[in-house]
Chain A
């Protein structure tokens, strides 16, 4: 098993419940153990099945994609949806989920 952290920022992290640790007013964190070979997409898919706010705001479990208003960072680097699909998680990896918004 590999241990990874998932950090969710700003309004995407609303109403996630006590399983997520609040790092600050705008950041929520959860540590996850994943099997060897798990991709970022598979991790988000499994989280979406357990946490309805994630299915509603971050990852659409029906089409297995992050929503268009969401961006994912892998180890603090912005990645494209293609990388979300393909990147296999390693021990110690960090996934950050951020909202993309129009304006500002």
Chain B
């Protein structure tokens, strides 16, 4: 069934198809339509779930954690300041190895107050132990929502799926909504590996002494490592049903390229058209889209970027005092590539607070990357008027 829908509703439909049992959320622009649609679905009975209203995002995640401990499939959605307010609870979900799924609509952090897209909200939660998946289209948003539950429940880690404010959240695109019976085949009811049992009550999140804490973190890290393979299997299964797959990273026209753009989110779509134009002009330019940020797809990046002359990483985010975060992570991944194969990496910071990233901007970046022998600095700011 194909429907035209905004990205936010693609999330809602994905949650509906996933037969989520508990939803707890607090509204925040530009996410609100996700949970609005879900509350409608719960109210009209099409989604037989508990919808728990709360007074803050901190409580929303706390409610999801409790529901997840009880063994249910659990969802929430948020954005920017809301995600920041959840921070403590994000650790509890991940450390508690709970397969909560959350949609985060990328929105710039305040101040200055801003509701437009930018990745600093989700990337600030890098070390909370959540799997992070960045989406490019509404179709990918729908598919990734359903895949997230399967991935999360297989490795017992929470998953944050991420979509750009407005460019996806409020923009309509046709979405092929997979039929319920097909989703049911792909995603059976959650079988919790451990859960609260009121007849044999135990404390969750109890004190762990130094003699065991490190081991628990090791297990968490093992689960992250495992998640890379499990994501591949999840995609295989989804592709068998729907014919669609995205990859932890996607290589677009990278064959024989001497310059690769590295992108995430909706900038990817714009970059694709620029790559097509440059290729048509005979230029060997390609594109690497990074969907999975945690666990970081280090091996894939090394194999795709090793041997390429120049790499331009486009970051709609900034780690103040360092550089664009995808650029820094990529640079770190490439350190182990032999020096002769190691590309020159240009890290561009652009599009913050929802500023438009046009084909012209990306063309300028390609030209600049070709023109210079070395980047002047680790963070190259594009289009800044001072």
| Pair from one complex | no
Binding site for B on A (CB under 8 A): none
